[in-house]
Amino acid sequence: MINILSKSSTKPQLPEDGVLRVYSMRFCPFSQRVHLILDAKKIPHHKIYIDLIDKPEWYKDYSPLGKVPALQLTDVKDQPTLVESMIIAEFLDEQYPELRLFPSDPLHKAQDKILIERFAPVVNAVYPVLTCNANAPKDALTNFETALDAFEQELAKRGTPYFAGQTIGIVDYMIWPWFERFPSLKLTTEHKYELDAKRFGLLLKWRDLVAQDEAVRKTALDAQLHADFQGSKRLGKPQYDIAFKA
């Protein structure tokens, strides 16, 4: 049974086995980023799920701002905790180098990190619609598509199946969680929104390819679950556990 830890929950009693501990929320795309890296690299870890509306008081000891994800390094002195998905991803890539996800070349690494940062306008534009906000700007989806154009163009420029090249890499994993959620718009918007197949042909082909990745399949939730969760969240009663019930 999976427990979602809330304000009334006591701190979980986990074995002192040196295994990483990941504090997350199943529907959080930033948490999914970290789970993708852990699963891609096959790194053992304990999962602890947090109720983000009614967070446990003790969680501030691990994430002072109360955000997820947080990664506790139990095999390090004083067991420090890292926060912010990109910081955690880069740390894991350096600590577990058997499967490198960031480019080894410093310039290419910097350029990929810049590209990931450029995804923020995509997320910011679509977020109100994705979360079923009744006050979403009327031009939200137009702005979303304009921001997403840059990634269609980047794939064309790179000329490879993945942003990382012939195999999946850090850019692919870091932007994937939102592409997993975009199909839920067909279920939650009045006009059943979908990405335009002509405008975003390369990205849609990329999406189908990435969806087959082992780590992606392991962390994936379907569009209906994402839509159901956002609907519950809009009503003020987010059902954090519906992913596990499914």
We report the CATH number of the domain holding residue 189 as 1.20.1050.10
Q: Is the whole-model pTM more than 0.85?
A: yes
- CATH number of domain containing 93: 3.40.30.10
- The tokens for 170 are 């850090």
**220 located within any domain:** yes
Angle between helices 140-158 and 120-130 (to 10 degrees): 140
- Write down which residue in 59, 83, 99 finishes a domain: 99
Q: Are 33 and 124 in a shared domain? A: no
- Could you tell me if 55 and 6 are in contact, meaning their C-beta atoms sit under 8 angstroms apart? yes
What average pLDDT does range 52-81 have in this prediction?
A: 96
Exposure string for 215-246, b = 16+ CB within 10 A, e = fewer = bbeebebebebbbbbbbbbeeeebbbbebeee
What average pLDDT does range 196-200 have in this prediction?
A: 98
Structural domain span for residue 176: 106-234
Angle at CA of residue 139, ends 135 and 145, nearest 5°: 125
- Write down which residue in 99, 133, 152 finishes a domain: 99
pLDDT, tens digit, 9 for 90 and up, residues 11-25: 988 889 999 999 999
- Write down which residue in 58, 82, 99 finishes a domain: 99
pLDDT, tens digit, 9 for 90 and up, residues 93-148: 999 999 999 999 999 999 999 999 999 999 999 999 999 999 999 999 999 999 99
pLDDT the model gives residue 62: 95
Instruction: Give the count of domains, the chain.
Output: 2
Q: Are 82 and 111 in a shared domain? A: no
Active site residues: 28
Q: Are 163 and 92 in a shared domain? A: no
Per-position DSSP letters for 181-205, written without gaps between them: HGGGHHHHSTT-----TTTTHHHHH
- Other CB atoms within 10 Å distance of the CB of residue 126: 23
Q: Are 88 and 141 in a shared domain? A: no
**146 located within any domain:** yes
pLDDT, tens digit, 9 for 90 and up, residues 26-45: 999 999 999 999 999 999 99
**239 located within any domain:** no
**243 located within any domain:** no
